[in-house]
Amino acid sequence: MAFGAFNHHRQKEAMADINVTPMVDVMLVLLVIFILSAPMFTNAVSLDLPKAKAAAVQQGAANVTVAIDAGGTVYWNEQALKGDELAQRLAAAARRDPQPELQLRADRATRYEAVAQLMAAAQAQGLTKLVFVTDPKEAK
């Protein structure tokens, strides 16, 4: 190091060490500032919103429940379907005005392929409202 050298015979050369202590100090100060200021950015604005009562929205169309069990059997409103009945019922539902909402319930063990085929059949018939129905998480 080239501090006040006691050896006068030594050749003076440029200091090759970098002192990182000031940089570390600045970084630690910035870290503390960010830690202290972060909670201020996440608080929501508290508003006293006005209160109003509105009439309930009328349901436009009946809902149709389509369920698929683990074996691949398709149920239309809890009635088991056979063969081409699904395509016929989907076509009839698509002709209704307004179109019903198709609520799809699939067993956890149902193959993805069966669900995808049912969705494709509904789309092919012109049904546009498809909803996936799940059970809420069980309380632990």
- Mean pLDDT, rounded, for 35-57: 66
Q: What is the pLDDT of residue 84?
A: 83
Indicate the burial class of 33 (C-beta count within 10 angstroms; 0-12, 13-18, 19 or more): exposed
> What confidence tens digit (pLDDT) does each residue in 110-133 have?
888 988 999 999 999 888 888 888
pTM of the model: 0.53
* Confidence bin at 50 (pLDDT 50/70/90): low
Strands 63-68 and 101-106, sheet pairing: parallel
Q: For the chain, what percent of residues have pLDDT higher than 70?
A: 74
SS3 call for 36? helix
Grade residue 109 by pLDDT with cuts at 50, 70 and 90. confident
